[in-house]
Structure 1
Amino acid sequence: MRSEAIRYLIVPGWQGSSDEHWQSHWQRRLPDSARVEQADWMAPRLGDWVAELARSIASDPRPTILVAHSLGCITVAHWAARAPAELLRRVRGALLVAPADVQRSNCPPALQNFAPIERQLLPFPSQLIGSDNDAAASAARALELAADWGSEAVILSGAGHINVTSGHRYWAQGFVYLYRLQSRIEQHARQRA
């Protein structure tokens, strides 16, 4: 990581991430960061969202770390299952925060076209952060997704959906998990060298 410039690509979830959302704060703080801008944040379509993520990754040749939230995590999993090797190699890792279980019984209809969730291992290191009281995915479901994707998992206590509503505006604690992920990426690169 120290020898190459890393781009941080913010991957928001349903309804986007407002200026007060931790993803927006992180985008302003992290050097070389950009955001995936979906055409329709309110009525997401799986094909459109995956295509836009692919375009955003392809638009910059630098190695990238994805910073995804909620439906953005599910978009990353779908993209990784379909992406060509050339683009997969650009992604060094992914921080997957509060993934939305689009297969749950009370899933909003607007999100159901993202089901079923891809279950294959992600081809890059990933860190999944869930919560024991997230209405979008139970702790057990978050751990199941982490196992499917090969992600290191952390379940926070009482963190909700890890968004503005649950009190996570700056979410400074999240940088600990980003740095942990970056350490894993460095170890992964050394092992492959």
Structure 2
Amino acid sequence: MRAADADILILPGLGGSGLEHWQTRWAKKLSTARCVAQADFDAPRFPDWIESIEREIAAATRPVVLVTHSLGGIAALHVAARGSDKIAAGFLVAPPSERAIAELTAIDPAFLPIPRERLRFPALLVASSDDPNAEADFSRVLAQDIGAELVDAGAAGHINADSGHGPWPEGSLRFAGFLSKL
């Protein structure tokens, strides 16, 4: 699959994706990509986030590829568990653990528990060995549970602009390779 053959829905996490974040850059670079807007990125409410994502999926005219970061990945897992035949693939980057979500009081606790059902579409989970929001064992087990291919990004922090991943060319190459196999 080529990027032009899909509706690429970019799902940011807590705080959204700022101007330097790789998700914002990809949204500008990929002609069929759009960032799913949320009413509040700083105090995520579970029903609002899920509704926004489901609305964007329903509006898609091509197969949907979800490109997520952090809490956006957890929201994507909830949406996938509710079922949608339009989702063709998921590129999940740095999903946080239950511990991290529970510790962040700004996040609606309804995001927990994290769904662990096997996904009905191909997925790639990119994780860092030193992500402060996701222990390496958590990422490994989550990828195994949902049937995603795990990509170890090494010591890359939370794989965001703060950890030096503004343009993130390695991620862009990995995403292109992932799409080419669909």
Secondary structure of the structure 2 residue equivalent to 1:78: helix
1:98 and 2:83 aligned: no
Instruction: Determine whether 1:114 maps to 2:117.
Output: no
* Number of residues of Structure 1 aligned to a counterpart in Structure 2: 181
**Displacement of 1:104 after TM fit?**
4.3
Instruction: Give yes or no for contact 1:97–1:129 (8 Å, CA) kept in 2.
Output: yes
Q: Which runs of 5+ in 1 are unaligned?
A: 186-193
- What's the offset of the Cα at 1:181? 1.9
Q: Which amino acid aligns with 1:152?
A: E
Q: Which consecutive residues of structure 2, in runs of 5 or more, have no partner in the other structure?
A: none
Partner of 1:177: 174
Corresponding residue to 2:154 among 157, 160, 170:
157
The answer to whether the aligner puts 1:73 opposite 2:70 as a matched pair is: no
Q: Is 1:35 matched with 2:35?
A: yes
- Structure 1 vs Structure 2 CA RMSD: 1.7
Matches within 5 A, 1:5-20: 5-20=5-20
Q: Amino acid of the residue matched to residue 124 of structure 1? A: F
CA distance in 2, matches of 1:7, 1:23: 15
TM-score scaled to structure 1, two decimals?
A: 0.88
Per the alignment, in what secondary structure is the counterpart of residue 136 of structure 1? coil
**Counterparts of 1:33 and 1:126, CA distance in 2:** 18
CA distance in 2, matches of 1:163, 1:107: 20
Distance 1:7 1:122, change over 3 A: same
Q: Which has more radius of gyration? A: 1
Instruction: Name the amino acid aligned to 1:49.
Output: W
Counterpart Cα distance in 1 of 2:138 and 2:169: 25
For residue 89 of structure 1, report the CA deviation from its aligned partner. 2.1
| Contact 2:7/2:61, CA 8 A, preserved across alignment | no
CA contact (8 A) 1:95 1:178 kept: yes
Percent identity for Structure 1 against Structure 2: 41
Secondary structure of residue in 2 paired with 1:110? coil
